[in-house]
Amino acid sequence: MRVLVTGASGQLGMDVVSLFEQRGYQVLGCSRSELDITSIEQCQKMLGDYKPESVIHCAAYTAVDAAETDIDGAYKVNAVGTRNIAVAAEKVGAKLVYISTDYVFNGRSAVPYQEYDNTDPQSVYGKSKRAGEVLVQSLSSRYFIVRTSWVYGLHGNNFVKTMLRLGQEKPSLQVVNDQKGSPTYTVDLAHFLDELVQTEKYGIYHASNSGDCTWFEFTQAIFEEASKIGILIKSELEPCTTAQFPRPAPRPENSVMEHLSIRTNGLTDLRPWREGLIDFLKQI
């Protein structure tokens, strides 16, 4: 299978390219410098020349707080850029995988979100990613929308790397304990995308590592598992509230997503989040 990956230099994109190459696909990974997704001409030329059978659209504007003031920038990438990729993919008959986010929900549900629950994004980032979903659904006849959450991997900056660094530097750390979600290891998500793209089971999917925790509980697990493999952690952990750390963009209290589509389509669910974390720590 010929696969084109946008955002190929990002933390998910790099693992998708690596895994898909190992699986024997012909992969063209496009970083921002190689493909400006906000140019419809560039998208149509790149996809028209390469003629991929599948496009994994990882490129995104993900600076959640910056998006609150850079509204045009967020929509230009997440909405217009996604439209351009959807139109170009449709022209060459490619399947399209759009990576989306838990931020399309309002984060106030008492139970995990299902794929068919009503969306209600509260931040500019969430609204722009939801706009991308709507455009994919409108313009593509062979699409997978994959919503994920709390992503971390070997490449780029992420919460796990930050906590490991701070845990070795600071005597004490306060971590938010009133937001819960499901941490997702990029390698596990890439394996799911590999399985998904081989099917015709189009639609919306929630894909995160199984189980849930708060950011505080996640940090506790990071420190516990890091200590087991000889990483010296000196920080004392303290739980705190979201209100103690105000940010420009609102954060969801509940980011936990139900994997209804994975189950009903007979696909392989992602393993428990702590198992993914242990493997990640061994890799770094």
CATH of the domain at 121: 3.40.50.720
The answer to whether the CB of 254 falls within 8 A of the CB of 180 is: yes
The answer to whether the CB of 114 falls within 8 A of the CB of 262 is: no
Confidence of residue 200 (pLDDT cuts 50, 70, 90): very high
Per-residue pLDDT, averaged over 207-229, amounts to 98
Q: Is residue 230 part of a domain?
A: no
**Number of separate domains in the chain:** 1
Q: Is residue 134 part of a domain?
A: yes
9-12's contacts with Cβ under 8 Å and 24+ in sequence apart are 9/155, 10/58, 10/59, 10/60, 10/155, 10/156, 11/151, 11/152, 11/153, 11/154, 11/155, 11/156, 11/158, 11/186, 12/58, 12/99, 12/151, 12/153, 12/186, 12/189, 12/190
Q: Is residue 146 part of a domain?
A: yes
Residue 28: per-residue pLDDT = 98
Confidence of residue 175 (pLDDT cuts 50, 70, 90): very high
Residue 7: per-residue pLDDT = 98
With b for 16 or more beta-carbon neighbours within 10 A and e for fewer, the 264-283 pattern comes to: eeebeebeebbebbbebbee
Residue 279: per-residue pLDDT = 98
The residues that are catalytic are 125
Q: Is residue 228 part of a domain?
A: no
Per-residue pLDDT, averaged over 251-280, amounts to 98
Q: Is residue 80 part of a domain?
A: yes
Per-residue pLDDT, averaged over 47-53, amounts to 98
Q: Nearest CA to 78 among 129, 120, 8? A: 129
Q: Which residue segment(s) compose the domain that 72 sits in? A: 2-158+183-210+255-271
Q: Is residue 44 part of a domain?
A: yes
Give 29's strand partners.
5
The answer to whether the CB of 100 falls within 8 A of the CB of 189 is: no
Per-residue pLDDT, averaged over 167-183, amounts to 97
d(Cα 132, Cα 163) in Å, to the nearest integer? 31
Q: Write down the mean pLDDT value for the chain.
A: 98
Give tens-digit pLDDT for 139-172: 999 999 999 999 999 999 999 999 999 999 999 9
Percentage of the chain surpassing pLDDT 70?
Answer: 100
Residue 111: per-residue pLDDT = 98
Residue 138: per-residue pLDDT = 98
Residue 242: per-residue pLDDT = 96
Q: Is residue 23 part of a domain?
A: yes
d(Cα 76, Cα 116) in Å, to the nearest integer? 26
Q: Is residue 98 part of a domain?
A: yes
Residue 24: per-residue pLDDT = 98
Per-residue pLDDT, averaged over 208-227, amounts to 98
End-to-end CA gap in the chain: 30
